[in-house]
């Protein structure tokens, strides 16, 4: 996954009043948590961050420039706070990671293909889980898993343990977690069919 670089500066002010002033000037307050180290309050350019993060998965890696303490360190977005109505960004939390320590992340799962049983109307496909939790090094984080369900038959299920994982990626979700099920369609007797069936004496 490509790492996106962001320009940051140290935030010296504190409190909601300072946060409001920073937002009005186009800055986005943020904090970078460093496992085993000091957390740093920083400021980003709000527009630059929105453009950089738009359309990217939540596992996108970022690098910071402008602060020596964060130089060449990678970070994941831990959480984003925004206004509930207008959606304006208010605050971002980052988690610093290193390329020699594994992280546990949730990766989106999507499906592709149409099973023959669905085409014949004998089953319907139901995806019950849309993420898979895995452990890997930051540079090995998958963007997503795509499952080809074309060969599924009525009554089949695909579980977390059935999802092929790239080298260096290990499953952390419960292996038996159901991802997709091909549920058999129940036959519904029509009025015409019921009328044609002779009553038992």
Q: Note the pLDDT tens digit of each residue in 17-44.
A: 888 899 999 999 999 998 877 899 999 9
What pLDDT score was predicted for residue 68? 87
Query: Which CA distances in Å does 170 have to 61, 100, 134, 145?
Result: 19, 16, 6, 13
Confidence label for 8 from pLDDT (cuts 50, 70 and 90)? very high
Residue 158 dihedral angles phi and psi, to the nearest 5°: -115, 125
Domains of the chain and CATH, by start: 4-97 (2.40.240.10), 103-184 (2.170.120.20)
pLDDT of residue 190: 58
The predicted model gives 181-193 an average pLDDT of: 72
Backbone phi, psi, residue 192, to 5°: -65, -40
Burial class, 107, CB count within 10 angstroms (exposed 0-12 / middle 13-18 / buried 19+)? buried
How does pLDDT run across 68-98, given as a tens digit for each residue? 888 878 999 999 999 888 888 999 999 999 8
Reply yes or no on whether the pLDDT at 56 is more than 80: yes
pLDDT of residue 28: 94
pTM recorded for the entire structure: 0.76
Element containing residue 53 per DSSP (H, E): helix 46-53
Specify the pLDDT at position 85.
84
Q: Beta strand 74-82 with 61-65: parallel, antiparallel or unpaired? A: antiparallel
Whether 160 and 123 have beta carbons less than 8 Å apart is answered as: no
User: Model confidence over 118-156: pLDDT tens digits?
Assistant: 999 999 999 999 999 999 999 899 989 999 999 999 999
């Amino acid at each position: 996954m490509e790492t996106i670089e962001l320009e940051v500066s140290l935030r010296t002010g504190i409190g909601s009043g300072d946060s409001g002033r920073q937002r009005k000037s186009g800055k986005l307050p943020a904090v970078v948590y460093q496992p085993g180290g000091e957390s740093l309050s920083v400021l980003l350019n709000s527009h630059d961050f929105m453009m950089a993060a738009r359309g990217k998965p939540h596992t996108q890696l970022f690098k910071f420039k402008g602060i020596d303490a964060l130089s060449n360190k990678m970070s994941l977005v831990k959480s984003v706070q925004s206004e509930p109505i207008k959606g304006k960004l208010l605050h971002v939390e980052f988690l610093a990671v290193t390329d020699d320590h594994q992280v546990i992340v949730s990766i989106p799962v999507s499906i592709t293909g149409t099973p023959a049983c669905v085409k014949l109307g004998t089953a319907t496909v139901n995806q019950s889980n849309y993420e898979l939790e895995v452990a890997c090094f930051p540079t090995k984080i998958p963007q997503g898993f795509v499952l080809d369900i074309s060969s599924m038959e009525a009554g089949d299920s695909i579980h977390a343990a059935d999802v092929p994982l790239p080298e260096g990626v290990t499953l952390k979700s419960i292996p038996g977690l159901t991802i997709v099920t091909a549920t058999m369609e129940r036959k519904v007797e029509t009025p015409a069919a019921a009328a044609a069936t002779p009553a038992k004496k």
